[in-house]
Copies of this chain bind each other. A is one copy, B any other.
Amino acid sequence: MGDSILIIHGGGPTAVLNSSLYGAVTEAGKYPQIRHIYAARNGTGGLLREDFIELGQLPEEQLRLLLQTPGSAIGTSRDALEEEEYDRMAEILQRRGIGYVLFNGGNGTMDACGRLYKTCLQKGMDIKVMGIPKTMDNDIAVTDHSPGFGSAARYIAQSVREVCADVRGLPIHVVVVEASGRNAGWITAASALAGDGGGDGPDLIYLPERPFDEEQYIEDVRKLLEKKTGIVVVASEGLTDREGRPVVEPIFRTERATYFGDVSSHLAGLVIRRLGYKARGEKPGLLGRASILLQSPVDREEARLAGELACRAALEGESGRMVAFRRLSDSPYRMEPFLASIDEVMMYEATMPDAFINERGNGVTEAFREWCRPLLGEELPRMLSLN
């Protein structure tokens, strides 16, 4: 059996993706039998090109910078893989003496993880393949939540809190903030926590789990404008209408995906055209997954732990599994990690349950707030309003 370990990143980064890398590398470093700690440069493509980065020699003070480095320090990929490429990957792993492979990624990456696991099994190769969950969107099934989400939630909550403080008392009537998560509304919903501890929360929240009804939206905003100004709306980038069509036009198509215009400026434009009020859209976009200062400390620690546990499990002989989290209690926050079968995880998108969405579909419930609150890691900075 191979005595080296390989770490592979797949999909878009999160604010704590590199924290999982830190956890995996430091754990691997504890085993004298591990000869090389490799990373595949830029994801599975790096494995297919045998383009490996040696991480085992890095001093701890360098490694620790991973905890505060956004993006993927070893690159990542979104390559869709052909069936025969799994065969090639397995052969490369065996030839290079790699006995342990850790995949860090979201649903697509867990699919690749499961396929490589099965390929190795079919070929009778003793290669352990483990998954580390990673998604800002929180759409991985089986686990209570995934590393990356807590920081995205903290980012949107603090950002919306700041936007609310800014527009309160200003002659801006309506601000629409666009949140990430095309099919799952978790991040959009987390903006509700802007109102915790003396802050101001958003007035309206529109999630992709509910069809977006333009008439209802205009009515919601119109009613609020009768009473106040400085209205803050948070909307998912993936809003669709009753027929499931995106509310914004496609602007770019590739073989794998279609890209759409900005929901924030579309919704701001509706207020301007239909109600005649000043409105503006804000779209922090990639910043929502890259902000180091708004990392959730709980999220960063769980990300580190997930990397550590996946590495340890592989070295203890586990394979075909992903580290997951089970919630024991909300307050005090207690969580226990466990290993889930990759089969249960693969390609199933977790969206917001009905119990977390209000009846009119323009806000969240207290149950959601209680579930989400501990993931932000610590209270948001306090503010003072005298106005």
Chain A residues within CB distance 8 Å of chain B: 12-13, 18, 39, 41-42, 53, 55, 58, 62-63, 65-66, 68-78, 158-159, 162-163, 165-171, 175, 251-252, 254, 259, 261-262, 264-265, 269, 272, 278-287, 289-294, 381-387
Contact = CB atoms under 8 A, between A and B. Distances in A.
Interface pairs A-B: 8 shortest CB-CB: A75-B169, A162-B290, A65-B384, A71-B165, A282-B285, A293-B293, A69-B383, A71-B166
Contacts of A279: 252
Contacts of A261: 265
A281 B278 contact: no
26 contacts: A12-B170, A53-B386, A68-B382, A69-B165, A70-B162, A75-B387, A76-B169, A77-B171, A78-B170, A158-B293, A162-B291, A162-B292, A166-B289, A259-B278, A261-B265, A262-B281, A262-B283, A265-B265, A280-B286, A282-B284, A282-B286, A283-B284, A292-B381, A293-B293, A293-B294, A293-B381
B294 A71 contact: no
Scoring A58, A63, A165, A167 by chain B CB atoms within 10 A of each residue's CB, the highest score goes to: A165
B283 A282 contact: yes
A41 B169 CA distance: 9
A328 to B, nearest CB: 31
B53 A387 contact: yes
A231 B55 CA distance: 27
Contacts of A264: 283
A167 B78 CA distance: 12
A286 B281 CA distance: 9
Contacts of A272: 251-252
A162 B387 contact: no
Given A282-B283, A385-B69, A290 B163 contact: yes
Nearest to A380: B292
Contact of A171 (B73, B78, B289): B78
A13 B171 CA distance: 12
Contacts of A162: 70-71, 286-287, 290-292
Contacts of A53: 386-387
A164 to B, nearest CB: 8
Contact of A166 (B74, B282, B286, B385): B286
Given A12-B170, A262-B281, 14 more contacts: A69-B385, A70-B166, A71-B168, A71-B169, A72-B387, A159-B287, A167-B286, A252-B272, A259-B278, A280-B285, A281-B283, A283-B283, A284-B284, A293-B293
